[in-house]
A = this chain, B = another copy of it.
Amino acid sequence: MRLDQRALDQLRDVKITRNYTRYAEGSVLVEFGHTKVLCTASIDNSVPRFLKGQGQGWVTAEYGMLPRSTHTRSDREAARGKQTGRTQEIQRLIGRSLRAMVDLKKLGENTITIDCDVIQADGGTRTAAITGAAVALIDAMNVLLEKKKIKQDPLKGLVAAISVGIYQDEVLLDLCYEEDSNCQTDLNVVMTQAGEFIEIQGTAEEKPFTRTQANAMLEVAEKGIQELIKKQQQALGW
């Protein structure tokens, strides 16, 4: 039995709230239990220099944690003058995952920037961020369609992400902070609506894992992601 009475393969309560703030073209508050991430999508009618004149768009992401989103306060990255390696790693992962949802040609010469800011952190912030950001991104692309800035919907399909881990040799889905801190292995998985993989990032924290365990984790992750995609669809009113 888990800390919060969940079954081994059970997600925490997931909530996806659209239009959480007023100004962004997409604005989603995503909650995985106590983890809360605000994902906003902003449209810019230009592209980065390396894409200029190629008739395609770009999707990128930035990630940050409010200093006291965590159990103890962390330094503010803006005050320290640089983003940590962890932050950069996560925002690169979010960006790659979101680009997998989009036909960049159909996006035209527009950039959509997704800001994922963690309001409260109880483990799984990167997977919650991807799951919420996917919805914010769709909202922003719909703004482009409604305003006739683009002609075709660039959306290729939904993407969601979840963590799985091995704790005392059992596979757990959607780790909270305390489980994450103590597990042997931590695996983050990003998948498409069609059940295919975008990213797999597995790390043995304490002891190595076997191929059998890897397979077991991927199977549980797949189940969790199917549920997340249903939550996204409900939020989108599909």
Contact = CB atoms under 8 A, between A and B. Distances in A.
Interface of A: 21-24, 27, 34, 36, 38, 40, 42, 44, 62, 64, 66-73, 76-79, 81-83, 85-89, 91-92, 96, 100, 113, 115, 117, 119-120, 187, 191-192, 194, 196-204, 207-211, 214-215, 218, 222
A204 B200 CA distance: 9
Contacts of A82: 78, 81-82
Nearest to A219: B211
13 contacts: A21-B69, A23-B71, A40-B66, A67-B113, A68-B115, A78-B83, A81-B81, A86-B92, A88-B89, A100-B208, A191-B208, A196-B208, A196-B209
Contact of A64 (B76, B83, B100, B120): B76
A76 B21 CA distance: 17
A interface, over-half SS: mixed
A197 B218 contact: no
A119 to B, nearest CB: 6
Contacts of A81: 81-82
Contacts of A23: 68-72, 120
